[in-house]
Amino acid sequence: MGSPCEIQLYARDHTSAQGIAQQAIADANRLEQRYSRYRPDSILSGINQVAAHGGSIQVDDETASLLNYAHACYLQSDGLFDITSGLLRQAWNFKANRLPEQGHIEQLLQRIGWHKVHWDAPTISFQPGMELDLGGIVKEYAADRLATLCWNAGAHHGFINLGGDIRVIGAHPDGSPWRIGVKHPRQQNPEAIHTLELLSGGIASSGDYERCFTLNGIRYGHILNPKTGWPVQHMAAVTVVADLCVLAGSAATIGMLKQDAGPAWLAALGLRHLWVDIHGQEGGTL
């Protein structure tokens, strides 16, 4: 998953807990093998090989469900949550500490846009030069799947943490909630600015602090607007709590992409949330 992952479980005994955890780990590895853009043998890489030539390909049911969800996010975000926008990483190198050429961005934007894709399940068709990146969905989807797998296997207390995307399986055996801290996106203080207590559901955060650089006093983060090709600037971080981790994750990312309209959009969504803007102002319902 490209990040530290953690499973905490209560079970009848250590052997049971270990067996259930191994099932969950195996499914996480399965999803990474299917949808990693870094693996040339992944399903996603196969799709992108077809997309590069402007072809069509049929996908399996699991992939179709992810594409259906991506389509819903695209509509809900007015086109800002766009799984075709991964091409922009060709312009943005966040280790180089330099801005890309605008001409390069404009060339890439011509090949970006979910509306340019024809999705009629199970067949997806592309214009030449396009590609998909499911990185904004699969890790959160995996957290939900693993939590369900553990529950069905008999572990009804615990949580899954995939690089900060968290899904609670169930409360502690005594009924007490899990305490989850949310750090400030700018302050170096290790203490959390908010601590949540969750008995169930998922929590995910999105921000400009994981992959970024600062130039002339301006921070450029890895969350890119697919319409302009440039990083979002208004929000520093958004955290959302929802019944499903995949919903929390996509809502947090859309909140970032909405920029100054993010607070109103998050409020209208009705999910518990916290936002911090680049000026340090905070808001939300946590």
Structure letter (DSSP) for residue 100: P
Q: How many domains does the chain have?
A: 2
Alpha-carbon gap, residue 83 to 35, rounded angstroms: 13
Is residue 115 domain-shared with residue 194, that is, in the same domain? no
Alpha-carbon gap, residue 81 to 78, rounded angstroms: 8
Report the pLDDT value the prediction gives residue 128, as an integer from 0 to 100. Answer: 98
Report the pLDDT value the prediction gives residue 120, as an integer from 0 to 100. Answer: 97
Residue 194 φ/ψ region, left for φ over 0, alpha for ψ in the -120 to 50 degree band, beta for the rest: beta
- The total of other beta-carbon atoms located within 10 Å of residue 201's CB is 18
Report the pLDDT value the prediction gives residue 97, as an integer from 0 to 100. Answer: 85
Nearest by Cα to 43 from 27, 56, 31: 31
Q: pTM of the prediction?
A: 0.94
Low pLDDT (below 70) residues in the chain: 189-190
Report the pLDDT value the prediction gives residue 190, as an integer from 0 to 100. Answer: 66
Distance of CA 96 to the CA centre of its chain: 24
Report the pLDDT value the prediction gives residue 193, as an integer from 0 to 100. Answer: 79
Alpha-carbon gap, residue 277 to 282, rounded angstroms: 7
Is residue 185 domain-shared with residue 269, that is, in the same domain? yes
Mark which of 59, 94, 125 sits at the end of a domain: 125
Amino acid identity at 138: V
Domain that holds residue 96: 43-125
In a domain, 271, yes or no: yes
